[in-house]
Amino acid sequence: MHKVNFTAHNRIALLECGAMFFPALIAAIDAAETEVHLETYIFERDDVGLALTAALVRAAGRGVRVHVIADWLGSGRVVSKQLAGDFRSAGVEFRSFNPWFLRGVARTHRKLCVVDQQVAFIGGININDDLFSDDYARQPLPAPRWDFAVQVEGPLVAIMQREVELQWIRVGNLQLRARWQRFRSARTRLSLHSEAPVVAGLVVRDNLRNRRTIQRAYLLALAGAKTSAVLANPYFAPGRKLRDALARAARRGVDVTLLIGVGQFRVQDAVAHSFYPKLLKAGVKVVEYHKTQLHAKVAVVDDNWATVGSSNCDGLSLFVNQEANIVIRDATFSLQLREAIGRGIADGIAVDPEAFGHVRWHQRAWYGAAYFLYQGILRIITLGKYVE
């Protein structure tokens, strides 16, 4: 399925970096009266993680039903075990996603929280301190990791509630028949549509019914772009369809700017560089972000279409992992996000097409080899679907 069900009359607030996100998230949890559903890829037991853990424990202590899902790989084996113990003793229900890869290679990369079916959060921000790199090195960063989330109130929250409930069922240890019955019940319990002007929709990627939904949302937006498209992404390695969509938009006169995070993973940087020649030749402006770690997965097209979420523009996010984005059709929000991305572009360094054209042959060979390796691994994981 590729359809996005949009709803109107939502209130959506842009949250930039942890300094805005975590206070809002903890305040919502502290105000919870009935239930909290939280999903994340990384749940670190640092100061930020401990503060959020305390809020979840406080909620459970006053009788709120609290469900937490954290990815086993993203959080780490040891931390996942510690979280399970901490939460179990405090009355918080905790599930680790796909421990030991028992359910295949896919990870849950989603960052979602729904509180009391009234307020929800979605974006790219993990539960960890954004003053340290989010890899195993945990290196201090020169500035807070640059990322975004949104706070949502309104009809869309009901759709997000249904999604987190389904995820809780999927991650559980139910027998197959019971899992299917509860899955069908949860799917049919809510049918929410709006005939009013479109505002926002939830876009998820999984390996069941929504294999291409997030990529399709990008492709449709780029295909309809008339004036501009600005994308910020940390790990740029999409399949051919998305790369071609960017190039086609630029060739027909759309002002396309791609802000890419660099400096964290050498091989990833080389893979992204392998795409630069064709993108630059088509007229795509490529800017590399150097101020700190870029973790944002955001885009704005024509100042009336925007997306914020967990999905990178790479093979793992678009073809393997479970992801969740919000697509927003609102001029005011789009302008706000575009201005934020513009500040990131100002902190970056534009790639000079002429200078890049004179990159030495051994560097080009390294870029090509990195892409060949990356493509080969992703083709195996995705059974040949990565090139799409």
Q: Could you list the active site residues?
A: 109, 111, 116, 295, 297, 302
Nearest by Cα to 162 from 112, 126, 123: 112
Within 10 angstroms of residue 64's Cβ, the number of other Cβ atoms is: 19
3-state helix, strand, coil in the chain (%, to 5): 45, 25, 35
Report d(CA 170, CA 275) in Å as an integer: 37
- Dihedral of CA 105/109/115/118: which sign? negative
What tokens does 36 get? 């909290």
User: What three-state secondary structure class fits 43?
Assistant: strand
Largest CA distance in the chain: 64
What tokens does 166 get? 């389904």
Helices marked H in 34-127 = 47-61, 72-75, 77-90
**Chain centroid offset of residue 272 CA:** 18
Within 10 angstroms of residue 179's Cβ, the number of other Cβ atoms is: 14
Which amino acid, 268? Answer: Q
Report d(CA 16, CA 201) in Å as an integer: 20
Measured CA distances, 333 to 150, 159, 169, 230, 326 (Å): 10, 20, 33, 14, 12
| C-beta contacts of 131-140 below 8 A and 24+ residues apart | 132/46, 133/264, 133/293, 134/42, 134/293, 134/295, 135/264
In the block, residue with structure tokens 């772009």: 225
